[in-house]
């Protein structure tokens, strides 16, 4: 197992954890246009968690491409 594969596994576990830790206040109804929710600005830990999820997503894709072409 290469070092890129190990890094990819670690990033994927962290990405899954960061997605699961985010609160889903809207529920499934809003996914189909039924929710009456309003959006507020993210602050504090919620903002940090959102940004880290985005960074982990980009890292996941980058490592996957590196692993593909190596």
Residue-level pLDDT, tens digit, the chain, 70 residues: 899 999 999 999 999 999 999 877 655 555 566 655 666 777 888 899 999 999 999 999 999 999 999 8
User: How far, in Å, CA of 18 to CA of 22, rounded?
Assistant: 7
Instruction: Return d(Cα 67, Cα 46) in angstroms, integer.
Output: 31
The predicted model scores a pTM of 0.74
Quick one: DSSP state of residue 33? T
The domains of the chain are located at: 1-21+44-70
Q: What is the pLDDT of residue 17?
A: 95
Nearest-angstrom CA–CA distance, 51 and 4: 23
């Amino acid at each position: 197992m290469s070092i890129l594969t190990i890094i990819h596994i670690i990033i994927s576990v962290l990405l899954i954890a960061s997605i699961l830790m985010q609160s889903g206040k809207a529920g499934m109804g809003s996914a189909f246009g039924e929710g009456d929710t309003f959006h507020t600005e993210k602050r504090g830990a919620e903002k940090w968690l959102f940004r880290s999820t985005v960074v982990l997503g980009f890292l996941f894709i980058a490592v996957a491409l590196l692993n593909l072409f190596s």
